[in-house]
Chain A
């Protein structure tokens, strides 16, 4: 499997380690009401779809960047790849 890295071009998936569902970027607020329940959901529950899946890959044997890869879990086709940094920044909105 080749992962088209946004900065480095196509890289062998063996250079990466896999963390899982990209919803792990959206960490709950530990100080908010109901934080324990929100963290349990965040840590343990997954959509686990058959089809398009947004997931986190770490370029361990490369430039040490985290990527958000959108990949089809039925065909292993990779649809889009973004730097997780950019995804997190755009989620936080302008000025962050």
Chain B
């Protein structure tokens, strides 16, 4: 299908755009593969790409129950950042952010990666101390973080309600390398790159069971027939519990609905991504002009992909508290995505008690920004049977061993993570 380039765009423009072709092959399933990946979201696609590109795997299939880009990879707020406190998380997200920075060159695909900065606002002296501590931890990991005073902030963000009675803005932790990317393009770019390298991308193929013999997975049963595999990697965050139940495993996960919203298109007003301390509000402006924003989980187990109105009101109220000027912007769309909420708010990339069955899940709020890192790390685990050095903490059994990665210090309460 050829590489994308400025020259090619120019040539196609002059010749009626007749030279473009589909970005990836819509493959038919074969009867057996070396490695089968369940789940064609960002994580599954990135894993397939890295298996083929980085680890030289051949005979890899990726099974998607719907269509590529139709799941959570198309239902998020597209924020990219690596600003965690705990080393087990931060070293992984630092790797992921570095992969984001070269993704367009690696994939030869425009994912509209925009490092416009991610700014977390703090509202009390104690919170400011905690932010500075976190900033130091981030810098020690190799990523970037800068503490910004309200005076410095007013240059780029003059419209905040700095003197808000309940949540005055005392400063912010800025990660200049953070930003946003076009979520659909990330899925399409990885699908194209993986397909180019021989991965069979099989859509409309729902996994209905696993063939497990003497503790080892032999095949997956699907709506398009039985597919034998030496190894199976499951990357179906949101539905991890349902898929792993087919292998007889109970997960330290609850599924919750998280809503997101887009306003009507506006002229450029937000220079970057900003988060507010009220109800976990976060917002950026898309290149089309819409404000893309979200807040907390609705807070109860759900597989519905739609939330309820109280959270809509709560998130809108938080946005207007931070930026009174957006009060008259109309909300255009809202939607819900299903999150794997783990017992400590951190993800899982690990082997499972079933030989040959590997798990990538539990992404909570953090799935989108983790895509490139997760793909590399999960491919490493599938190819070598050993955890990648940056993912040694993301174990499935860490809860019962007492090695939780609990950023918020909230304990095993998934709806508060």
**In the bound complex, how far is the Cα of B251 from the Cα of A53, in angstroms?**
16
Interface bin, chain B: 20 to 34
Q: How far is the CB of B39 from chain A (nearest CB, A)?
A: 16
Q: Looking at the complex, which of A25-33, A60-68, A71-79, A86-94 is the stretch in contact with chain B? A: A71-79
B301 in contact with A20 (CB, 8 Å)? yes
Would A43 and B343 be within 8 Å (CB), given that A1-B308, A20-B414 are in contact?
A: yes
Q: Which residues of A contact B310 (CB under 8 A)?
A: 12-14
**In the bound complex, how far is the Cα of B238 from the Cα of A73, in angstroms?**
13
**In the bound complex, how far is the Cα of B302 from the Cα of A16, in angstroms?**
16
Confirm or deny: B77 has a beta carbon within 8 angstroms of a beta carbon on chain A: no
Confirm or deny: A48 has a beta carbon within 8 angstroms of a beta carbon on chain B: yes
Q: Which residues of B contact A13 (CB under 8 A)?
A: 300, 308, 310
Q: Which residues of B contact A43 (CB under 8 A)?
A: 343, 399, 412
**In the bound complex, how far is the Cα of B310 from the Cα of A17, in angstroms?**
13
Q: Which residues of B contact A12 (CB under 8 A)?
A: 310
Confirm or deny: B415 has a beta carbon within 8 angstroms of a beta carbon on chain A: yes
A20 in contact with B250 (CB, 8 Å)? no
Q: Which residues of A contact B245 (CB under 8 A)?
A: 47
Confirm or deny: B176 has a beta carbon within 8 angstroms of a beta carbon on chain A: no
Q: Looking at the complex, which of B103-111, B178-186, B252-260, B365-373 is the stretch in contact with chain A? A: B252-260
Nearest-neighbor residue (CB-CB) of B400 within chain A: A40
Confirm or deny: B9 has a beta carbon within 8 angstroms of a beta carbon on chain A: no
Would A45 and B252 be within 8 Å (CB), given that A14-B310, A37-B400, A40-B399 are in contact?
A: yes
Q: Which residues of B contact A73 (CB under 8 A)?
A: 255, 301-304
Give 1 or 0 for each of B292-305: 1 = CB within 8 Å of chain A CB: 00000001111110
Q: Which residues of B contact A47 (CB under 8 A)?
A: 241, 245, 250
Q: How far is the CB of A29 from chain B (nearest CB, A)?
A: 18
**In the bound complex, how far is the Cα of B400 from the Cα of A41, in angstroms?**
8
Task: State which of A1, A14, A19, A44 has its C-beta within 8 Å of the C-beta of B343.
Answer: A44
Would A48 and B304 be within 8 Å (CB), given that A20-B415, A40-B399, A73-B255 are in contact?
A: no
Q: Most B CB atoms within 10 A — which of A20, A46, A75?
A: A46
Q: How far is the CB of B257 from chain A (nearest CB, A)?
A: 9
Confirm or deny: B403 has a beta carbon within 8 angstroms of a beta carbon on chain A: no
Count chain A residues whose beta carbon lies closer than 8 angstroms to a beta carbon of B: 27
Confirm or deny: B102 has a beta carbon within 8 angstroms of a beta carbon on chain A: no
B 386-402 contacts with A by CB, 8 A: 399-400
Q: How far is the CB of B295 from chain A (nearest CB, A)?
A: 15
Would A45 and B255 be within 8 Å (CB), given that A14-B310, A18-B299 are in contact?
A: no
A 3-23 contacts with B by CB, 8 A: 12-14, 17-21
**In the bound complex, how far is the Cα of B299 from the Cα of A13, in angstroms?**
11
B303 in contact with A46 (CB, 8 Å)? no
B251 in contact with A46 (CB, 8 Å)? yes
Nearest-neighbor residue (CB-CB) of A42 within chain B: B412
A55 in contact with B253 (CB, 8 Å)? no
Confirm or deny: B269 has a beta carbon within 8 angstroms of a beta carbon on chain A: no
Q: How far is the CB of A73 from chain B (nearest CB, A)?
A: 5
Task: State which of A44, A45, A53 has its C-beta within 8 Å of the C-beta of B301.
Answer: A53
B251 in contact with A48 (CB, 8 Å)? yes
Confirm or deny: B242 has a beta carbon within 8 angstroms of a beta carbon on chain A: yes
Confirm or deny: B329 has a beta carbon within 8 angstroms of a beta carbon on chain A: no
**In the bound complex, how far is the Cα of B413 from the Cα of A2, in angstroms?**
23
Nearest-neighbor residue (CB-CB) of B307 within chain A: A76
Q: Most B CB atoms within 10 A — which of A1, A37, A48, A50?
A: A48
**In the bound complex, how far is the Cα of B254 from the Cα of A45, in angstroms?**
9
B251 in contact with A45 (CB, 8 Å)? yes
Nearest-neighbor residue (CB-CB) of A43 within chain B: B412
Nearest-neighbor residue (CB-CB) of A14 within chain B: B310
**In the bound complex, how far is the Cα of B309 from the Cα of A35, in angstroms?**
42
**In the bound complex, how far is the Cα of B300 from the Cα of A7, in angstroms?**
22
Q: Which residues of A contact B242 (CB under 8 A)?
A: 48-50
Q: Most B CB atoms within 10 A — which of A40, A73, A75?
A: A73
B 120-156 contacts with A by CB, 8 A: none
B 241-300 contacts with A by CB, 8 A: 241-242, 245, 250-255, 299-300
Nearest-neighbor residue (CB-CB) of B402 within chain A: A40
Task: State which of B301, B304, B399, B400 has its C-beta within 8 Å of the C-beta of A55.
Answer: B301
**In the bound complex, how far is the Cα of B251 from the Cα of A17, in angstroms?**
23
Task: State which of A20, A41, A53 has its C-beta within 8 Å of the C-beta of B413.
Answer: A20
B 223-254 contacts with A by CB, 8 A: 239, 241-242, 245, 250-254
Which 4 residue pairs of A and B lie closest in terms of their CB atoms, listed nearest first? A48-B241, A40-B400, A44-B399, A44-B252
Q: List 11 A–B pairs whose Cβ atoms lie within 8 Å, in order of A's numbering.
A: A20-B254, A41-B250, A44-B343, A47-B245, A48-B241, A48-B242, A48-B251, A48-B255, A55-B300, A55-B301, A75-B304
